[in-house]
Amino acid sequence: MLLVVDAGNTNIVFAVHDGTVWRGMWRISTVVERTSDEYASWLLGLMERSGVDHAAISRVIIGTVVPAALYDLRRFCREWLKLEPLIANASLDWGHPVRVETPPSEIGVDRRLNALAAQLFYGGPLVIVDFGTATTFDVVDEEGAYCGGAIAPGINLSLEALHRAAARLPRISVGRPFAAIGRNTPEAMRSGLFWGYVGLIEGIVSRIALEMGIPLKIIATGGLAPLFSEGTDLFDHVVPELTLDGLRLLADRNAACLPDSASATADARFNTT
């Protein structure tokens, strides 16, 4: 079985795929000080409760946009799974060209993983809207090339900024408002945030489509994708876990690069690279 680890700015998601289906997914907040032993104490117990035998895991791939989190994630794999993880980076075979001015190594790995999975599932040209800590818009052309996109603050960042900057505005949860006109302060905030983001999404996608000059498939992903899909008919597909599929597909494409489990020896805990 394959363990994929998607380490984002807000959460780290661990998921196990048996070659046919996902057997389990588990999420924990991103804390770079969390140790390999803490990951093991939390994750291995959840796997056991879900009926997933961690001893059956034979491959691991890690994708992260938080470099500081990689050290202990790698140690967890070496010490507790006796496996050397494959790290998703620009040196691997991604199977698609990159047509941007930024060096591929500087592109957020989550953005390329989304593009990889979306292209293989649906074919280009397309735009992926990822509702994460940031809201990202990534473009794949008709030839399957990654073409860049746009980055906006995520809704939770905007929500927190609004609460912190305005002394009398409360902290509220994200949700779809009952009406555009809020009859009290929390409802007014929720309306502005939700419908403001719907307008942002539709506006940016519209401008991208105008620049591309061709019809585009629009894919939504990320934890808040189902929520925002209720507020617009923009999306052709809603796939909350697209990044995990990207990691799975990248691991399969680079199977020859996955280190053999024998390389993760019993004294791996002393290897700090």
> Does the annotation flag 203 for ligand binding?
no
> Does the annotation flag 13 for ligand binding?
yes
Q: Which residues contact 69 (CB under 8 A, 6 or more apart)?
A: 7, 12, 30, 32, 34
> Does the annotation flag 111 for ligand binding?
yes
> Does the annotation flag 7 for ligand binding?
yes
> Does the annotation flag 59 for ligand binding?
no
Token pair belonging to 95: 């199977």
Going by C-alpha positions, the residue among 102, 9, 2 that lies closest to residue 62 is: 2
Q: Among 37, 53, 72, 110, which one carries the catalytic annotation?
A: 110
List the beta bridge partners of residue 154. Answer: none
> Does the annotation flag 102 for ligand binding?
no
Concerning whether 110 is annotated as a catalytic residue, the answer is yes
> Does the annotation flag 109 for ligand binding?
yes
Distance of CA 23 to the CA centre of its chain: 18
Distance CA 246, CA 94 (A): 10
Q: Are 242 and 217 in contact (CB under 8 A)?
A: no
> Does the annotation flag 52 for ligand binding?
no
Going by C-alpha positions, the residue among 46, 54, 94, 50 that lies closest to residue 261 is: 54
> Does the annotation flag 61 for ligand binding?
no
> Does the annotation flag 24 for ligand binding?
no
> Does the annotation flag 133 for ligand binding?
yes
> Does the annotation flag 8 for ligand binding?
yes
| CB burial of residue 181 (10 Å; 0-12, 13-18, 19+) | exposed
Distance CA 40, CA 30 (A): 15
List the beta bridge partners of residue 17. Answer: 2, 22
State the binding site for substrate. 108-111, 185
Catalytic positions, written as ranges: 110
State the binding site for ATP. 6-13, 133
State the binding site. 6-13, 108-111, 130, 133, 185
State the binding site for K(+). 130
